[in-house]
Structure 1
Amino acid sequence: MTIALVSLPATPDAPNEDFAAAFPGGAVLLDGAGVAGGRTGCEHGVAWFSSTLGGVLLGTLVAQPGLSLAECLGHAIRTVRSLHEGDCDLCHPASPTSTVVAVRVRAGALEYVVLGDSALLLASRDGMVDVVTDRRLDEVGKRLRGPVDALPTGSPEHASALAEYRSALTGLRNRPEGFWIAGPDPEAARHALTGSVPLDSLASVVLMSDGATRLVDRFELATWDELFALVVASGPAEVIRQVRDAEADDPAGRRWPRGKARDDATVLHWVLP
């Protein structure tokens, strides 16, 4: 098993709310989300939530091979809820949440589960790259984020519009007319994207948080095929370096409107035997 993994926070002094890890036969990646600088109802914080959920999910994948990945995710969400529901207000509208990407080898296939806008790249031995990512949050966001994108990133006006946007998103979180994300409710796991691919058809897989996929889906500086080729040729660190360069070239979000000038970025590349 050959794994290359790089994960960097948005800024050196900020906690990294991404989490990624692997074991022989599987890997997970999570991208935590909350309200920057605001109350979440959880005394532990977003980074704690994403890393704890990721660790529990990883252990469940190993210990419960008979469960589907969606069932493993539901079990992990329930377990993490039990760890802090006595101390934290999990009914708070801004309670921490996280995207999830997980893969596992079982019975000659690579199984996957994807919840939220992190991405899974499946590279076949014939050179084709399939991308699995949950775009329901993006579809909801497009309807709501016009006022945010019209303002310079980091300005007081942008911060105010962003707060209103996030409040509106919260009202659509884990609802049929909105989007699904891992949070306090294990029901979200039932709405994840799932599938499997014959293992012998794959050359490698890449798990990426949306802070790394910005190179494609926000900045449009590469295609998915070009992004995968960059991972293979130069490694995950080069992907994140190019993302950081693009962010630095447009700090106010004029060329590429976005909620955060910089974001946590994680790339995990698993080369299959």
Structure 2
Amino acid sequence: MRVTLASLPAEPGQENEDFAAVAPGAAVLLDGAGVAGAVTGCTHGVAWFSATLGGLLLSTITAHPARPLADCLADTITTVRSLHEDSCDLTYRASPTSTVAAVRADADALEYLVLGDSSLLLADKAGEVVAVTDRRLDEVSKELRRPVDALPTGSPKHALALAAYRDALTKLRNRPGGFWIAGPEARAAGHALTGTVPLESLTSVTLLSDGAARLVERFELATWQETLIVLNSSGPDELIGNVREAEAEDPYGRRWPRGKTRDDATVLHWVLR
């Protein structure tokens, strides 16, 4: 297997809350989340949570190849909870959570799982690209974020509106009719998007955090096909560089309203034989 991987924090020197890793025949990517400006309730923090969950998940899906990915994720969430529930307040609204994208290949098929707003790209031999993205967060947040998008990114009023928006979102987290994300509750794994694809039909598999997918998802400056061209020719560093250039052109979110001017960005590109 040939994998290229790149990851950058939102700001130089800032802790990166994304996590990505590979093992023979498997890969995971997680995008950790808390509530900006709020104490998380966890003494370890968001980056610890996404890295710990991601590392244990990769270990679990490779050690138990016959166990469905959703079950592996549920087991891993339970294990991570046991590591810090005695020292951290996991019922607090800002307790760390994380998106999850995971893939695992056997001789015949690629199994995938997506939970939260990270993206998975499946490129086939016919030149088509299928994007698997969990849209539930977008759907429930559309109306809630209107006051945020009307204000310049990074302004004091924007920060207040963003805090209120995120507070409202926590009431919809891991609830029917809301959205699902990996946190302290193992049942969230059962709501992940899952599926299998014949391995022989694919040319590559790509996992992206939402910070890396901005060029397509939020800025609409490229298509997924164009994204694959960049990844195949120049690699993930080039793609993240393109995202950073677009962010720099609109630092206050006038053209592209968003919660943060820049976000952690991670790309894992797996080229199949």
- After superposition, the C-alpha distances for 1:61-88 in whole angstroms (9 at most, x for unaligned) are 1111121000000011000000000000
Is the 2:122–2:130 Cα contact (8 Å) retained in structure 1? yes
Shift of 1:37: 2.8
- After superposition, the C-alpha distances for 1:142-182 in whole angstroms (9 at most, x for unaligned) are 12000000000000000000000000000000011100000
- After superposition, the C-alpha distances for 1:193-247 in whole angstroms (9 at most, x for unaligned) are 0000000000110000000100001111001111111111111011100100011
Other-structure match for 2:236: 236
Answering whether residue 87 of structure 2 is matched by residue 87 of structure 1, we say: yes
Amino acid at match of 1:135: R
Other-structure match for 1:64: 64
Other-structure match for 2:30: 30
Amino acid at match of 1:200: E
CA RMSD of superposed structures (Å) = 0.7
Distance in 1 (CA, whole Å) between partners of 2:251 and 2:267 is 22
Amino acid at match of 1:247: E
Q: Which runs of 5+ in 2 are unaligned?
A: none
Other-structure match for 2:261: 261
Distance in 1 (CA, whole Å) between partners of 2:12 and 2:83 is 29
Distance in 1 (CA, whole Å) between partners of 2:35 and 2:13 is 17
Answering whether residue 139 of structure 2 is matched by residue 130 of structure 1, we say: no
Other-structure match for 2:39: 39
Distance in 1 (CA, whole Å) between partners of 2:228 and 2:95 is 34
> Aligned residues, how many?
273
Q: Which runs of 5+ in 1 are unaligned?
A: none
Answering whether residue 14 of structure 2 is matched by residue 14 of structure 1, we say: yes
| Aligned ranges 1:101-250 → 2 under 5 Å | 101-250=101-250
Runs of at least 4 residues off by over 2 Å:
none
**Secondary structure of 1:152's match?**
coil
Shift of 1:116: 0.4
TM-score of the pair, normalised by structure 1 = 0.99
**Secondary structure of 2:12's match?**
coil
**Secondary structure of 2:20's match?**
strand
Amino acid at match of 1:271: V
% identical equivalent positions: 70
- After superposition, the C-alpha distances for 1:10-69 in whole angstroms (9 at most, x for unaligned) are 011210000000011010000000022311110100000000000000000111112100
Q: 14-23 or 220-229: which moved more?
A: 220-229
Distance in 2 (CA, whole Å) between partners of 1:62 and 1:244 is 34
Distance in 1 (CA, whole Å) between partners of 2:102 and 2:69 is 8
**Secondary structure of 2:141's match?**
helix
**Secondary structure of 1:211's match?**
coil
Amino acid at match of 1:170: T
TM-score of the pair, normalised by structure 2 = 0.99
Shift of 1:106: 2.6
Amino acid at match of 1:174: N
Distance in 2 (CA, whole Å) between partners of 1:171 and 1:94 is 11
Shift of 1:107: 4.8
Q: 104-113 or 245-254: which moved more?
A: 104-113
Distance in 2 (CA, whole Å) between partners of 1:162 and 1:13 is 23
Distance in 2 (CA, whole Å) between partners of 1:125 and 1:204 is 9
Is the 2:5–2:269 Cα contact (8 Å) retained in structure 1? yes
Q: 224-233 or 43-52: which moved more?
A: 224-233
